Amino acid sequence: MHSGCRASRSAAHPKRPNATAREADIVSHGSGDGNFRLASGGSLNVAIFGSADMTAVGETDRVVASPQGSGDLSAGALRARDVSVESRGSGNARVYASESLDALVSGSGDVSYGGNPKRVTKKVSGSGDISSF
């Protein structure tokens, strides 16, 4: 059985989405906040365009995150096995990876990670930073 969640935000639709799911594909345009809880397994795909702040907690196998602009992703309490994050602009991401982390920062955004992943790939262009917490 596959359970999923698809959420989309825009400044024209300021209603705050809150969801609990095993799979989540989230795209946020504009400003606002979103809170998501992931059940064990599955994956989270999140793209933040603009100044939205997203928070994710729970457990998942994979996270793919793209904070663009000035939006932030707070997912340090989302226990993930594999994480791929691309921060472009001034957006920040806080993530947790137990096996692998692929992180790219282009601009002044920061990526911080926990979980002591076994494999870490980092690439920074600009004044941003990638560091463990």
CATH of the domain at 99: 2.160.20.120
**Nearest-angstrom CA–CA distance, 5 and 82:** 20
Angle at 10 between CA 96 and CA 17, to 5 degrees: 55
Q: pTM to 2 decimals?
A: 0.85
What is the reported pLDDT for 2?
32
| 9-50 confidence digits (pLDDT tens) | 444 444 444 667 778 888 888 888 888 888 888 899 999 999
pLDDT higher than threshold 60 for residue 127 = yes
| 91-119 confidence digits (pLDDT tens) | 999 999 999 999 999 999 999 999 999 99
| 84-95 confidence digits (pLDDT tens) | 999 999 999 999
* Count of domains forming the chain: 1
Question: Would you say the C-alpha torsion 34, 8, 129, 56 has a positive or negative sign?
Answer: positive
Beta strands (DSSP E) in 90-116 are: 93-107, 110-114
Question: Which three-class secondary structure state does DSSP give residue 68?
Answer: strand
Q: Count CB neighbours of 91 within 10 A.
A: 29
Distances (CA, A) of 14 to 8, 32, 37, 50: 10, 7, 20, 13
pLDDT higher than threshold 60 for residue 6 = no
Show the domain range for 114.
Answer: 4-132
Nearest one of 43, 128, 123 to 93, comparing CA atoms: 128
* CA 124 to chain CA centroid, nearest Å: 17
